[in-house]
Amino acid sequence: MKGYSVFNADQIDGLPERYRATPSALPESGKERIEFADRFFANLGADIRHGGSKAYYHPVGDFIQLPRFEAFVSAESHATTLGHECIHWTMKSTRLDRNLGREKWGDEGYAREELVAELGSVFLAADIGLAIEPREDHAAYIASWLKALKNDKRLVFQMAAHAERAVTFLHRLQPKAGENSNEEMEDRRAV
């Protein structure tokens, strides 16, 4: 691991203008919504709200909060983040009733649930043909996962099983599960 000093362009005197990114100069590639992913998530019947600057599942209110679509760097980033939160959404007692011992933010139960959500979002992205993009919070999660994994060598397999159950649950909420939705997924994988 290496450290690098990084400066904001506004902190550098005399920097040529070509190094200054402006919102109008940023490329708009990848910002078209992914229709298949939008349909998949709409079929879940989850309460998905947009606004603010953070993505999370609110267990007490039983809703998913996401920043507006335009805040994401790409449509894939939006869809995979929503997938991550939808995996959390499956933990409710009326769905999969998954309680991994979380008592507070950052404890071992929290690390376990985040590992389930992250693995589940990767499985789901593979199923529906989305590219996974690293997020800023991955490094923080990895530290907590390593601590939990050090205490239990089988943990990753157990959490992967929970993640697979969550993904299967989400697939079962799709219309005509086992028919058209699976055929459409196979078509997307072939692309």
Which residue range(s) make up the domain with 103? 74-190
Residues in the chain predicted with pLDDT less than 50, given as ranges, are 23-30, 181, 191
| Inter-helix orientation angle 108-128/180-190, to 10° | 80
How many independent structural domains does the chain possess? 1
pTM over 0.85: no
In a domain, 126, yes or no: yes
Residues 66 and 78: their CA atoms lie apart, in Å, by: 9
Phi-psi region of 133 (alpha: psi -120 to 50; beta: other; left: phi over 0): beta
Q: What was the pLDDT predicted at 139?
A: 61
pLDDT at 45: 96
| 28 lies in some domain | no
Residue 78 lies in a domain: yes
Domain contains 113: yes
Any domain includes 7: no
Tell me if 87 is assigned to some domain.
yes
User: For residue 40, what is the enclosing H or E element?
Assistant: helix 35-42
Q: What is the pLDDT, as a whole number, of residue 137?
A: 62
C-alpha span between 84 and 122 (Å, rounded): 8
Q: What percent of the chain has pLDDT over 90?
A: 51
Q: Is residue 23 part of a domain?
A: no
Residue 177, token pair as written in the block: 């599960």
* The predicted structure's pLDDT at residue 111: 84
pLDDT for res 24? 40
Question: Is 114 within the bounds of a domain?
Answer: yes
Tell me what pLDDT residue 30 has.
Answer: 47
